[in-house]
């Protein structure tokens, strides 16, 4: 990588309004210990040009046994080495160190060994998660409650490790995530993929995950660079949902209708829900505490010919498309009619602007 390559990546991130994290090579080693000479060169260059980044060290090290095994306790010591280096090189002394960036197949023992030596060095405990390999993932998996719930074990392991070995001071990230690893899953793109992605966001939020880094651009744009249904639902999530996560309980307890809630991003005291109905019939939704309140409904359904594989998504019955180079309005339907009818195989958002929930004020 040249200086010009690094500048181009940083410039792209900055122009998009993003912060940048950079993953250093953990396998550049002197016998058992990490060799930091390349890292020093990069950090010195970034500091001299005013380019401020967060850092990771290594990618999916629990898979290194296929190439060059590094003990997780030693990785923790390597992180301590990197943190000490960052502390001597402003502005990196105030930046985040993210790790160990393990796959969802990590074990509780692996996390314990890493955190036993490295917990004082990392700010974020990061994991990667996919439901399966691309060739193995089927359209039916994306609306299968058992498959959707399979992420729970990974999230529980991460939360338990952080709570036990770092005294709960570290946050958990899905530092790389999506639906399937290896390569794109055949016949699982388009509208149907939104169910699995939206549920992953909700499952992660309710388990205390504070950031999801989605892999990758092709999931959000088709071959014509047109935004996919996953893009539109993610945009709505970013526009509507605040950072405080609320608990949702249901009298039905049906895993085929799934609902999550945050404080509203735009209305102090308001609540915003997101839902997915993978039941084979419509669902009538009532939220007893709020039946006297009006709501804003953003209902997403399969557009085009109505098949679940379509790359077209409807918002409240109308196709969502770009307005030239500009984003469309994405306006809701406003109503005070309860119950709210959620059609089968749809997902979306329900905002209660004037709920005045104490936790959200």
Residue whose structure tokens are 């301590």? 80
Smallest Cα–Cα separation from 211: which of 93, 127, 121?
Answer: 127
176 in catalytic set: yes
Catalytic residue among 3, 19, 44, 60: 60
State the Cα–Cα distance between residues 285 and 102, nearest whole angstrom: 39
Task: Report the run of H or E that residue 197 belongs to, with start and end.
Answer: helix 193-206
**Peptide bond preceding 100: is omega within 30 degrees of 0, i.e. cis?**
yes
Burial 200-217 (b: 16+ CB within 10 A, else e): bbbbbbbbebeebebbee
What are the Cα distances from residue 223, in Å, to 37, 57, 168?
A: 40, 33, 43
Nearest-angstrom CA–CA distance, 335 and 312: 25
Q: Is 56 a catalytic residue?
A: no
Catalytic residue among 3, 44, 56, 176: 176
Catalytic site positions: 60, 176
């Amino acid at each position: 990588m040249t200086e010009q390559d690094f500048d181009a990546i940083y410039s792209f991130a900055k122009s998009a309004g993003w912060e940048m994290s950079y993953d250093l090579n953990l396998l550049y080693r002197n016998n058992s210990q990490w060799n930091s000479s390349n890292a020093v060169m990069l950090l010195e260059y970034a500091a001299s040009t005013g380019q401020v980044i967060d850092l990771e060290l290594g990618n999916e090290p629990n898979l290194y046994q296929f190439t060059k095994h590094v003990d997780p306790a030693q990785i923790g010591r390597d992180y301590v080495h990197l943190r000490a280096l960052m502390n001597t090189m402003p502005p990196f002394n105030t930046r985040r160190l993210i790790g160990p960036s393990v796959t969802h197949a990590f074990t509780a023992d692996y996390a314990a060994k890493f955190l036993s030596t490295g917990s004082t060095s990392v700010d974020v405990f990061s994991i990667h998660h996919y439901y399966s390999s691309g060739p193995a993932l089927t359209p039916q998996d994306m609306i299968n409650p058992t498959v959707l719930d399979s992420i729970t074990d990974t999230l529980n392991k991460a939360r338990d490790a952080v709570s036990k070995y770092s005294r709960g001071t570290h946050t958990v990230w899905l530092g790389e995530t999506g639906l399937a690893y290896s390569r794109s899953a055949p016949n699982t793109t388009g509208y149907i993929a939104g169910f699995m992605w939206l549920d992953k966001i909700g499952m992660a939020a309710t388990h205390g995950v504070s950031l999801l880094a989605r892999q990758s651009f092709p999931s959000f744009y088709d071959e014509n660079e047109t935004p996919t249904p996953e893009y539109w639902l993610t945009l709505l999530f970013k526009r509507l949902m605040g950072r405080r996560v609320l608990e949702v309980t249901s009298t039905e307890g049906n895993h085929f209708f799934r609902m999550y809630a945050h404080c509203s991003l735009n209305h102090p005291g308001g609540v915003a829900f997101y839902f997915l109905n993978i039941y084979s019939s419509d669902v009538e939704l009532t939220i007893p505490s709020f039946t006297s309140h009006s709501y804003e409904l953003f209902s997403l359904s399969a557009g085009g010919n109505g098949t679940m594989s379509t790359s077209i998504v409807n918002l409240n019955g109308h196709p969502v498309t770009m307005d030239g180079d500009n984003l469309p309005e994405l306006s809701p339907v406003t109503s005070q009619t309860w119950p709210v009818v959620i059609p089968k195989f749809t997902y979306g958002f329900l905002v209660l602007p004037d709920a005045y929930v104490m936790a959200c004020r």
